[in-house]
Structure formats: C-alpha cells, structure tokens
Copies of this chain bind each other. A is one copy, B any other.
Amino acid sequence: MTDDAPHDHPPPGLLPAGLIDLLPPEAEREAALVETLMAAFGAHGYERVKPPLLEFEDSLLAGSGAAVAEQTFRLMDPVSQRMMGLRADTTPQVARIAATRLGLQARPLRLCYAGQVLRVRGTQIAPERQLPQVGVELIGSDAAAADAEVAVAAAEALARAGVAGATLDISLPTMAGTLLEAAGLTVPALEARGVRRKPAQDMVAALRLGIDRKDPVAVLTVAERAAPLAVDLADLLPRLLRAAGPAEAALAALAAMDLPTAARRIADNAAEVVAAIRARDPDLRMTLDPMEFRGFPYHTGVAFTVFGPGATGELGRGGRYLSLNEEPATGMSLYPDAVQRAAPPPAAPRRLFAPLGTAEATLAALRAQGYATVRALSAADAPRALRCSHILRDGSPVPVTQEEG
C-alpha cells in the first residue's frame, strides 16, 4: 500500500463505483425480462450455453475478446498459477465453445446466452461496471438469411418484452475502407506511388476521420493530393454519405451508383439482408448508413445497432464477424438494463397479507392463482407496512384499505 492510498474503512454499505444492488421490484423485473428475451431466442431455435464467469485470459481474450482486453479484470488462479479473466463480454466464450466442445456439431450452430459481464472501469455516461448481457450467436453460415435471422429474433424478443417501435440501424463497417482501397488510398498503395510512409499514414487517418465525421469536403481535400484516383470519389462520396436513411431508400440510392466491384458486393449483401428481414418482419423500422464504421472493429459484414423508441437509446448491438477458425458467424447482443428502461413497467404483483392462523390450504390455492402470500408471524405484523395490496377476509382476498395501517 502506498502512502497516498486510503487507509480508512469505507462506510458500511458503500459499494465500489459502478457496482449496485438491485432492490425489489427492479431485481425481479430484470430477471423476468432476461427470461422473456431468452424465451424468444429459444423459440427461434437458439440453445442456451452458460460459460463460466472466469476463465484463462488466453482463451477469454482470443478473437473478438481482444476488443475488451483492457476492460477485463484479471486474477491469479491459485490452482494452476495462470492468469484468469473475469469476462467483460460473452461472445468470445461462445466462440470458444463453438470451436471446441461443439466443434463437431452440425452447422449452422444456434447458441444463446444470458449472464453478467464485468469491466474494469465505467465511463461518465455508462458508469456501470457489472452489466447483464443476453444474446445469440449463429455460427457456420455466411448467408444473408443468417444476419436477417438474428435481427428478426432480436426484434421479436424486444416485442415480447413490450418494447414497440424499435429501430434497426444497419451499417456497413467495411464499406469506407473498401472504397478507399478501390481508390488507391491505402498506405501500401500510396507508398507504391512514392508517398513516404508517415505522410501516407497521416493521409489515410485524415480520410477516415473525414468519413467518420461525414465531412466530404475534408475527405476530398485530402484525396486530391493523391490524384488521379482509380475511383471518382468526388462523385461517389457525397452521394454515399447522403444515402444514409430509411433502409429501402438507402438501398435504392446505392443501386443507382457506379460502385467499384468490391463495394458493390457489400451493397448487394446489404440489400439481401434487408430484403430477408423485410420478408420476415414487414413492419420493422430499418435504417441504413453505408459509410458508418463505428461498429466493433471485428465486424466483417453488416453491423446492427438496435435503438428503442423515443430517447430510450441503444438496446443492443450485433452483426457479422469471423468466429474462431475463421468460421463465418453473426450475432446480436441485447442490454437488459436498457431494454428495461424502454419497456413498459409490469403490473404490480398481488401481495396478500394472511393474518395469524390462516390455514395453509387457503394460501396454497391463492398462490396457485398468482398471489404472493405474506403470513403474519406475530400480532404486530400489519399489511400496509409489509407492502401488501390485499388482505384475506373471510377466506377471500380484498384490497388493503387506508385504515389497515
């Protein structure tokens, strides 16, 4: 312990920043919501796996796990003397299961999971360091129908949870890079044309920054310095940025453009995914932003962000990636805490106060009708203090009135 470390004890009941107790009724609500979401995934053929909270860091941080390496708590396993990590994301664990223990099971493999993830630090806008995570992974299919399936299943899960009017934002994280590559605006291509490495790297960074900020002027100003280009960026780039919007309109705009082959392939795939989703869920709101690439860096095809209605924010994320052993995979992860904020509150439970001496059979029958029965344990127990909505009178539940203290 260094001199400036705290020596006093924290007040009793104080929790570390970003770690909270869920109290009644929130804890029950979250648990019920998780099971509702999981039931929807189960109904779409996804089978539950439950990886452990701790595993060796080598396997936890492999593949897509590298993206959360900095956010992963580490601790020493006294049994093996190896370092273990406390998972910050469940997807890498599901990938490990798919590649090893379920490596010989027929593809496509449909797996779902629900559990807690922990991270070393929260952020100012998302201070939580323990979060529930629920999701699906569809491993071993490169079909557009697979991407559509995880999106449709997530939308149905949200609908079952009472979230109406969610929007699926589709982005194409590989499009910007593909376009720059086709235009000859990569570090190796620029070097081949005599630009030195450092200026080439600066140029590419500036191009990506301009695209990320949706600033075609900035991009074209930089690109001009490398003219002539193999692709007419001055024509394409503003049109691609403007295309962002409702999915079908964005696809129509893309269809009208003269895209380089590799970019055309990405656009065609997006069109296939959107059509497959639309065929299954005619009412789902979908937007498409072809030049957005903020998705997790490991996405290799469409990326999804699910937004709740109004200002309820991001409810989940997903998209196509390569799983271990280069298996094509797609998936979707939902954030139950965010979904809970977007969902209508459930009906308050019926909580029945049973005075001293009530027969057990009476209460068992009422429990079977959905009442939570609360037995008086002493004459001092009172229905309102114990937050009961009902009291048993002459064998029947009646609402608790003001007088019943």
**B47-A28 in contact (CB<8A):** yes
> Contacts of A23 on B, CB cut-off 8 Å?
49, 97, 101-102
Nearest chain B CB to A347 CB, angstrom units: 14
Partner of A110, one of B75, B129, B149, B374: B374
Q: Is the CB of B55 within 8 A of A42?
A: no
Q: How far is the CA of A56 from the CA of B53 in the complex (A)?
A: 19
Asked if A399 is at the interface of the complex by the 8 Å CB criterion, the answer is no
Among B5, B45, B52, contact of A21 (Cβ-Cβ < 8 Å): B52
Instruction: List, in ascending order, chain B residues with CB within 8 A of A14's CB.
Output: 56, 59
B78 and A50: CB pair below 8 A?
Answer: no
- Quickly give the copy total for this chain: 2
Shortest distance between the CB of A273 and any CB in chain B (Å) = 12
Closest residue on chain B to residue A52 by CB atoms: B19
Which residues of B sit under 8 angstroms from A13, Cβ to Cβ?
59, 96, 99-101
List the B side residues contacting A387 at CB < 8 Å.
106
Chain B residues with Cβ below 8 Å from A9 are: 58
A38 at the A/B interface (Cβ < 8 Å)?
yes
Specify which chain B residues have a CB less than 8 angstroms from the CB of A351 in the assembled complex: 45
A228 close to chain B: CB less than 8 A: no
Flag whether A141 is at the interface (Cβ < 8 A): yes
Q: Which of A114-122, A177-185, A198-206 contacts B (4 or more CB under 8 A)?
A: A114-122
Would you give the 0/1 interface string for A72-86, flagging 1 where the beta carbon is closer than 8 Å to chain B?
Answer: 011101111110101
Which B residues are CB-close (under 8 A) to A367?
A: 43-44
- Say whether, besides A97-B23, A106-B386, A15 and B56 are in contact (CB < 8 Å): yes
- Contact of A375 with B145 in the complex, beta carbons under 8 Å: yes
- The answer to whether B385 touches A16, judged by C-beta atoms less than 8 angstroms apart, is no
A99 CA to B13 CA, complexed, in Å:
8
From A24, which residue of chain B is reached at the shortest CB distance? B47
- Which of B30, B48, B82 is A28 in contact with, Cβ under 8 Å? B48
Across-interface contacts of A382 in B (CB, < 8 A)? 106
Binary interface encoding of chain A residues 1-36 relative to chain B, with 1 for a CB under 8 A from any of its CBs, else 0:
000011001101111111111111101101100010
* Contact in complex: A96, B48 (CB < 8 Å): no
**Known A22-B48, A24-B111, A27-B50; further 14 A-B contacts with Cβ < 8 A:** A10-B58, A10-B80, A10-B82, A12-B59, A12-B99, A16-B80, A19-B52, A21-B52, A21-B93, A23-B101, A24-B47, A31-B38, A53-B53, A106-B385
For this complex, 17 residue pairs linking A to B, each with C-beta atoms less than 8 Å apart, are A6-B81, A10-B56, A12-B324, A13-B96, A13-B99, A13-B101, A16-B77, A17-B80, A21-B97, A22-B50, A28-B47, A30-B50, A42-B372, A45-B375, A53-B118, A86-B86, A149-B375
